[in-house]
Amino acid sequence: MAPDETTTIADPDDPRLDDYRRLNEQAARRRIERDEFFITEGYVAIDRLIESGHTIRSVVLAPSRVERFRPHLGALADRSVPVFVAERDVIASAIGFDLHRGVLASADRRDHPSVENVAASTRRVAVLEGLNDAENLGAIARAARALGIEAFVTDPTCTDPYSRRTVRVSMGEVLTLPIATTTADRWPSVLDVLHGHGFETWAMTPAADADDLWALDVPERVAVVFGAEGPGLDARTVAAADRRVRIPISADVDSLNVGHAAAITFAAIGRPR
């Protein structure tokens, strides 16, 4: 390892660690990050971050993590990304808790594509309304990447797809997905943009009179629409979709976790014909 590939930080108040302050305080993080940057943690998520092409601001490693991270050091040096090494107690003092993974990165956010761009360039899309749980969103993103979903469209009430928890649970896969966001005045009429590009939209619901997922022919272009657990999709969104679709489950079970429901749906629409 070349001597200039990492820089040691011994003071938790060092301003070079400012991107990482108060990581467990959601409101504080929104003020710190605004819409400028986000935090990624863990080896696999940071592997995806590097592959995704986002501009990386810095990386922070505990000394015990440097060897595992060594394959990336040369490429990050070529991109002028500073890699800081700090003892675990220094990192804990800087971020506000003991981070067992000992691997963090900060990266600039990119502009989101438009719904029109997503509609013109994809065939399989997940549309998300009101998802307020970061871990559910992360699980959906991981399943999407594994099962052929090419992009997300999110309503304005969805949780931040680049929150640390979402990125971590997705294993960084959310960073590689195009995500089009919408404004309140365009929701849910934005589904008409997808319709205009040949998409059929499926509003996923547990309603007994909805179409059975396994009985449907999958169109060339399909967008599956999911709502938050509990309230589900707004009635206006259901009305704007082409059809209501359900996953048949045991009558003894009320419903599925939305992350599980999304994975099942993605696998169903991607299955070989």
Helices 66-78/43-52 angle, 10° precision: 10
**Average of per-residue pLDDT across 232-260:** 93
The pLDDT, as a whole number, for residue 2 is 42
Topology at the third CATH level for domain 115-270:
Alpha/beta knot (3.40.1280)
Residue ranges matching CATH 3.40.1280.10 in the chain:
115-270
| Residues 152 and 250 sit within 8 Å (Cβ to Cβ) | no
- Contacts (Cβ under 8 Å, ≥6 apart) of 236: 188
Neighbouring-strand partners of residue 179: 152
| Residues 41 and 166 sit within 8 Å (Cβ to Cβ) | no
Tokens at residue 124, please?
């399989």
Residue ranges matching CATH 3.30.1330.30 in the chain:
7-108
List pLDDT tens digits, range 33-88.
999 999 999 989 999 999 999 999 999 999 999 999 999 998 899 999 999 999 99
List pLDDT tens digits, range 144-200.
999 999 999 999 999 999 999 999 999 999 999 999 999 999 999 999 999 999 999
Nearest to 128 by CA among 149, 151, 161, 154: 154
Residue 253 banded pLDDT, cuts 50, 70, 90:
confident
List pLDDT tens digits, range 86-119.
999 999 999 999 988 889 999 999 999 999 999 9
Q: How far apart are CA 166 and CA 134, in angstroms?
A: 5
- Evaluate if residue 135 carries a pLDDT over 90: yes
Q: Which CATH superfamily is domain 7-108 in?
A: Ribosomal protein L30/S12 (3.30.1330.30)
Secondary structure (3-state) at 123: coil
- Contacts (Cβ under 8 Å, ≥6 apart) of 143: 149, 259, 262, 263, 266
